[in-house]
Structure 1
Amino acid sequence: MRRIRTAPHAPLAAAAVLLALAAAPAPAQAASEQGQGQGQGHEPKAPREFVALHDVAPTIRQDIRYFTAHNFVGEPIDGYRQPMCIVTKDTAKALARAQRSLLARGYTLKVYDCYRPQRAVDHFVRWAKDLDDQKMKTEFYPRVDKNRLFEDGYIAEKSGHSRGSTVDITVAELPARPTRPYHPGEPLVPCYAPREERFPDNSVDTGTGFDCFDTLSHTDDPRITGKQRANRQLLKTTLEREGFSNLPEEWWHFTHKPETFPDTYFDFPVSRHSLTSHR
């Protein structure tokens, strides 16, 4: 959903080391970093306040959906040149604190999206205006008419993600096995189907998949009960303690407050080469 609101314990240390090794960038990501500088000399750069989350909190899992075709558009999104999470330093530090809390309880955070360039938001807008393109409807918006995506607030021309303090995030129970890749053209299942039927995800069951355009995604929807509600509350309370605010319409959407850039929407690509001190 693209809604916007104006708005030194020894065992723990050992676990963190093991998870850090497991969470190191995949070979595909490392390979994608090679040659990124070619033809990008005039691309905008991120201010020094932006960092790669992996450099601050390497044990947090990353499943950057808009780098892939497994999203409501059905193709990689403009501006996502590497499958990585970029956020402001304050946001990264807050996520690291939340991660330490969850690791001690046998869980890990997992991000689906972090900073999002304006060109990606523009891609969403173009897609939403093309009413004939509905190839991902069965999974992501089965009960919503595409011609209502703007009116219902699922798509907007600006996103808080472009300011760098907002993340789409969930929790996974350890040990968390990798999620299998999505294969374009494979049969789709509604995002609110029972967990064992919808696309597999190594995260805890929260009642819907990520980016599910449905009222069941509202954090406190009364139809979400039992363990699913408890999992949403685990995510929400853990992040709220570190200064994050949840968007009520999306259980996965959190913004760290106060925002480092409350009024600025950036358009640098999601890439190591966008960072001022990339390495």
Structure 2
Amino acid sequence: MTRISSTLRGLITALAALLAVTVSSAGARATTEPEAPEDFVALRTVDPTIIQEMRYFTPHNFVGEPIDGYRQPLCILTRPAAQALHQAQRKLLRQGYTLKVYDCYRPQRAVNHFVRWAEDLDDQAMKGEFYPNVDKTRLFEDGYIAEKSGHSRGSTMDLTIVKLPARQTRPYVPGEPLVPCYAPKDERFPDNSVDMGTGFDCFDTLAHTLDPRIQGEQRANRLLLKSTLEGLGFVNLAEEWWHYAFKPEPYPDTYFDFPVSWKSLISSH
């Protein structure tokens, strides 16, 4: 009887240990995040002089809150895109300018966040700045929001030019009065960027790179960015003066979903 009890106790203990391991490994699998391929890099490690103002890590964007997947204010790109951006920066530094990136690699979960926001027609908290003249029901139809983004492939970035020495841009305060993104530069939310005619992420036809209404210094600034980048293999999206993709892309058909963080890079190298 004692021997049977002892055997039974041993069996129960072994089963309990096996169950604990199974539960533990299932939990580990559930919390494992996707990782970046080895040829993704933090832009800072390729060119630390490029300013990074990662808008989707902050509430200062068209959604009005930090976006899913942005764990740190970090620009991540495929290595060829980062190296080409470094070459562009060298050209601009000689002319008294620096690049500034607003967004780089964007995880699919962030794009999903944009889609959920666009489908919620009651949430128009940031309309006054980012889409004053666009009815929210038209964001998909007009191409401002889509279910996939080239940013998720790792070779696309949103960026601008800043005159040196660069002044600090003050932080956005949630709830502060909003000014249309196409207002004169000294009325818009302050940005140390040169005047591009609109702010970043302006949902308006004035943001089209070659819109004929943008003239003078504003047009010259857009063309400086365009000519500098296009000479190094970048292609501009005609509807957004800030949007460029490096070609040929290492991952033309892959939409990644690893978080924007150092850990995504460190764990994959």
TM-score (norm 2): 0.88
| Alpha-carbon spacing, 1:149–1:185, altered in 2? closer, same or farther (3 Å) | same
Please point out which of 207, 213, 234 is paired with 1:217: 207
Paired with 1:180 and 1:223, the residues of 2 have a C-alpha distance of 29
Structure 2 partner of 1:234: 224
| Alpha-carbon spacing, 1:199–1:50, altered in 2? closer, same or farther (3 Å) | same
Q: Would you say 1:75 and 2:98 are equivalent positions? A: no
Q: How does 1:85-234 map to 2 (within 5 A)?
A: 85-234=75-224
CA shift at 1:95, angstroms? 0.3
Identity of aligned residues (%): 74
| Alpha-carbon spacing, 1:211–1:276, altered in 2? closer, same or farther (3 Å) | same
Q: Does the aligned pair in 2 maintain the 1:128–1:146 contact within 8 Å?
A: yes
Paired with 1:160 and 1:187, the residues of 2 have a C-alpha distance of 32
Structure 2 partner of 1:25: none
Q: Deviations over 1:27-61 (max 9, x none)?
A: xxxxxxxxxxx999500000001000000010000
TM-score (norm 1): 0.85
Structure 1 partner of 2:10: none
Over the aligned positions, Cα root-mean-square deviation in angstroms equals: 1.5
Amino acid at match of 2:229: L
Paired with 1:71 and 1:275, the residues of 2 have a C-alpha distance of 25
Greater gyration radius: 2
Q: Deviations over 1:65-101 (max 9, x none)?
A: 0000000000000000000100000000000000000
| Alpha-carbon spacing, 1:196–1:99, altered in 2? closer, same or farther (3 Å) | same
Q: Does the aligned pair in 2 maintain the 1:48–1:277 contact within 8 Å?
A: no
Paired with 1:278 and 1:215, the residues of 2 have a C-alpha distance of 40
CA shift at 1:276, angstroms? 4.3
CA shift at 1:140, angstroms? 0.1
CA shift at 1:178, angstroms? 1.0
Q: Does the aligned pair in 1 maintain the 2:131–2:204 contact within 8 Å?
A: yes
